[in-house]
Structure 1
Amino acid sequence: MRTTRYLTVTAVAALLIYGSAGLSWLSGTTLPVVHASTSTPGPGVAPQYDTAHVYVSPEDFDRFVASLLATFGGTTTKQGVFTVTPTPSRTMSQLVLTPVGTLSVFGFKSPVPYPFGAERTGYLVTDLDGATRAALEDGADVLVSPFNDPIGRDVVIQWPGGVNMQLYWHTTAPSYKELQSIPENRVYVSTNRVEALLRGFLAFSHGRVVSDDSHAPGVEIGQPKDIYRRIRIESNFGKLTVLVTDGHLPYPYGRETTGYEVANLTDTLAKAKAAGVEILVPPYTADRRNAAVIQFPGGYIAEIHSNVSN
């Protein structure tokens, strides 16, 4: 099944690259997206196991976790100090389980070994070795080969466009509550690499394109007079939003790796401000959403949004 799917995706990729890449580059047209087959299950488990990786200083660790809980609600696991990399290191670590997304928080007491700190998320997979092989077949690179951690195994991969992710597997299968809303992994890529990213990630995740808007309102990326391309993807891993830009982004756009859906943006912002969270981008409305960008104590930047009632 995988060989057949891989050959199909590769053949289409060749047609895209050699048949129309030059025309697309000159005309600005959008290349067609390859939709992966969903007839067989992908390596993902469920969205509540998609954990945003957040690195803060040890001094900010407790304040960050407290502000996160005050803003979104939820619970935490017991805090500890562990070695979570394949080379010697020591980090404070805690899992924060909120109704709108799960976060793995790290406060390194030692220098952070390369390339850790650049991975945006951890995805739980059913089979780490199988998922690693699949990612390679689908165009990803392996930055950190599979290694053991205190409770399982991990690997760090990179998709075209420089998108780093950690895949993980636990010796004892975790059990987290279903989320009230599923967060979106927000990925910024260039026009040069977006098709390779889409082909690879869709094939790997067995995901589907929910929407592909080549005229999305630029206010979403701090360019209110312009338009850009936005692709929304869903899979067993959760939601992935791909923002295709020229890199001419005002701060803080591109720094937010996750978008969290809340029931009421105004109420959530009030809770956030009371907890010491800074509002970097005031609320705006676009794509049937009210949205804002905030920064938590310790530096973590996130987009938050609520749906606009019809």
Structure 2
Amino acid sequence: MRITKSFGVIAVAIILSTGIARLFPTRSTALEVAYAATVTPNVTVGPQYDTTHVYVAPEDFDRFVASLVATFGGTTSKQGVFTVTPTPSSTMSQLVLTPVGTLSVFGFKTPVPYPFGAERTGYLVIDLDEAIQAARTTGADVLVTSFNDPIGRDAIIQWPGGVNTQLYWHTTTPSYKALQTIPENRVYVSADRVAAFVDSFLAFSHGNVIADDAHAPGVEIGRPSDTYRRIRIQSNFGKLTVLVTDGHLPYPYGHETTGYEVSDLAATLAKAKAAGVQVLVPPYTADQRTSAVVQFPGGYIAEIHSITGKPN
């Protein structure tokens, strides 16, 4: 159901509820208000429990994990070999808990069953059955119905726009330290599907659009002569940045799944290079942050940035 309101009413509502001074009269802002009536249970736990999924070859596994810890600091869980899919498979698996984000690392010793490997992020939820139903209610598809894993249950959903996410529930409630900075899930969506994606994700996550720039600097996607639309969303799942593009993306843009915020980008990149990390995009400044794109041993590509001012 679509509710039509004047932009003036929407603007007042946004100012009162978020205190954001800069307003963007775009469709996603209207969606946040118009679809507030879509009621779903709040199944979020916290951003330190949401993991970026990284698949690497078994021979690269240890080198990749070591490079992550050398770059960002943090600790790891005990490495093991498990079946983490509903059909027979075998993978090395380890959790990397860094101050800037949590990663689940997989090194499959068998072929990876479809559609595993395409999910960008895993979200820990309070109740998996409620989360699956909430996802369906908001327009997401359930690609892999719930199944048991060694420590709980899982499912894979797909948001409108083709973004895959794994949902988790743990038998024993985990307890991780709060993060120093919250990473951003970076999602590339077409203009045709962005409204449906934002609508669905906001209703599921109980989040808010904190910025929507219809003319974001194109240097952020490797096209410095152009502009594009960038939407920033915040929820108890963490930060999510929606990059709305025509798909004409120079490498490596679109391959980075997560953006990590660090206090000193230059110092972080120095640590990364010493650990065998390759800088694919040298540091540049836009939207009051300095950013770079890197590739870790094993092929994982990430954005890393430092805030240089109050971001838009």
| TM-score normalized with structure 1 length | 0.90
- What count of residue pairs does the alignment treat as equivalent? 286
Identity in percent: 76
Runs ≥4 residues deviating over 4 A = 36-41
CA distance in 2, matches of 1:31, 1:180: 33
- The answer to whether the 8 A contact 2:152-2:169 is kept is yes
CA distance in 2, matches of 1:30, 1:59: 47
Partner of 1:11: 2
Secondary structure of 1:71's partner? helix
- The answer to whether the 8 A contact 1:52-1:120 is kept is yes
Partner of 2:19: none
Secondary structure of 1:223's partner? coil
Per-residue deviation, residues 116-161 of structure 1 (Å, max 9, x unmatched):
0000010000010000000001000000000000000000000011
Per-residue deviation, residues 22-80 of structure 1 (Å, max 9, x unmatched):
xxxxxxx9425312649986211000011000000000000000000000000000000
Secondary structure of 1:11's partner? coil
RMSD: 1.6
Per-residue deviation, residues 265-306 of structure 1 (Å, max 9, x unmatched):
000000000000000000000000000000000000000000
Per-residue deviation, residues 246-278 of structure 1 (Å, max 9, x unmatched):
000000000000000001000000000000000
Per-residue deviation, residues 227-249 of structure 1 (Å, max 9, x unmatched):
00000000110000000000000
Secondary structure of 1:60's partner? helix
Equivalent AA in structure 1 for residue 149 of structure 2: D
Q: Is residue 2:120 matched to residue 1:120?
A: yes
Partner of 1:23: none
Q: For structure 1, list consecutive stretches of 5 or more residues without a partner in the other structure.
A: 1-9, 14-28
Q: Is residue 2:22 matched to residue 1:31?
A: no
1:211 Cα shift?
0.2
CA distance in 1, matches of 2:88, 2:196: 34
Equivalent AA in structure 2 for residue 11 of structure 1: R
1:11 Cα shift?
3.2
- The answer to whether the 8 A contact 1:123-1:168 is kept is yes
Equivalent AA in structure 2 for residue 80 of structure 1: G
Q: For structure 2, list consecutive stretches of 5 or more residues without a partner in the other structure.
A: 5-24
CA distance in 2, matches of 1:32, 1:138: 15
CA distance in 2, matches of 1:129, 1:105: 25
- The answer to whether the 8 A contact 2:67-2:275 is kept is yes
